Amino acid sequence: MREAHVDDGAQTLTQLTTPAVVIDLDKVERNIRRHQDYADRHGLKLRPHIKTHKLPQIAAMQLRAGAIGVTCQKVSEAEAMVAGTPEIKDVLITYNIIGAEKLDRLAALANKVRLSVVADNETVVAGLSYRFASETRPLAVLVECDTGAHRCGVATPEDAAALAQVIAKSPGLTFGGLMTYPPPDGAAAVQAFMTRAKSLIEARGIVVPVITSGGTPSMAKAGDAPVTTEYRAGTYVYNDRSLVARGACGWDDCALTVLATVVSVPAPNRAIIDAGSKALTSDLLGLPDYGHILGRDDIRIDQLSEEHGRLVSEGPIGLKVGDRVRIVPNHACVVSNLVDQVYVTAADGTNAAGKTWDVWPVVARGRIS
Spatial CA neighbour of 50 closest among 199, 246, 181, 235: 235
259 forms bridges with which residues in the sheet? 20, 326
Nearer to a copy of itself (CB atom), residue 98 or residue 220 = 98
Tell me which of 89, 221, 278, 296 binds a copy of itself, using CB under 8 A.
278
Sorted by sequence, the CB contacts under 8 Å of residue 16 that are 6+ apart come out as 5, 22, 259, 343, 357
Stretch touching a copy of itself by CB under 8 A, among 57-65, 151-159, 189-197, 348-356: 151-159
Least distance between a copy of itself and beta carbon 282 (Å):
4
Instruction: List the x/- string, 330-359, binding to a copy of itself by CB under 8 A.
Output: ---xx--xxxx-------------------
Among residues 24, 146, 240, 289, the one that binds a copy of itself under rule CB under 8 A = 146
At 112, the amino acid letter reads K
Determine if 204 is a binding residue for a copy of itself (CB under 8 A): no
Ordered alpha helix ranges (H), the chain: 25-41, 56-64, 75-84, 100-110, 122-132, 157-169, 187-203, 216-219, 241-245, 277-280, 332-336
Q: Which long-range contacts (CB under 8 A, 24 or more apart) does 356-359 make?
A: 356/9, 356/10, 356/11, 357/11, 357/12, 357/13, 357/16, 357/22, 358/6, 358/9, 359/3, 359/6
- CA 95 to mean position of chain CA atoms: 14
150 binds a copy of itself (CB under 8 A): yes
Answer yes or no: are the C-beta atoms of 119 and 144 closer than 8 Å: yes
What count of residues does the chain have? 369
**Ordered alpha helix ranges (H), 145-293:** 157-169, 187-203, 216-219, 241-245, 277-280
For a copy of itself (CB under 8 A), the number of binding residues is 66
With respect to a copy of itself, which residue has the nearer C-beta, 71 or 116?
A: 71
**Smallest separation (angstroms) from a copy of itself to the CB of 289:** 14
Three-state secondary structure call for residue 304: strand
2 forms part of the interface with a copy of itself (CB under 8 A): yes
Instruction: Check residue 230 for interaction with a copy of itself (CB under 8 A).
Output: no
Question: Of these, 31, 36, 78, 79, which contacts a copy of itself (CB under 8 A)?
Answer: 79
Residue 138 exposure: Cα atoms within 13 Å on the Cβ side:
15
Based on the shown chain and the rule CB under 8 A, indicate whether residue 209 belongs to the binding site for a copy of itself. no
Q: Which of residues 99-128 bind a copy of itself (CB under 8 A)?
A: 99, 101-102, 105, 120-121, 123-124
Under the binding rule (CB under 8 A), the answer on residue 267 touching a copy of itself is: yes
Report the site for a copy of itself in 46-75 (rule: CB under 8 A). 51, 73-74
Per CB under 8 A, residues contacting a copy of itself are 1-2, 4-5, 17-20, 51, 73-74, 76, 79, 95-96, 98-99, 101-102, 105, 120-121, 123-124, 146, 150-155, 261, 263-267, 270, 272, 274-275, 277-279, 281-284, 303, 305-308, 310, 320-322, 333-334, 337-340, 366, 368-369
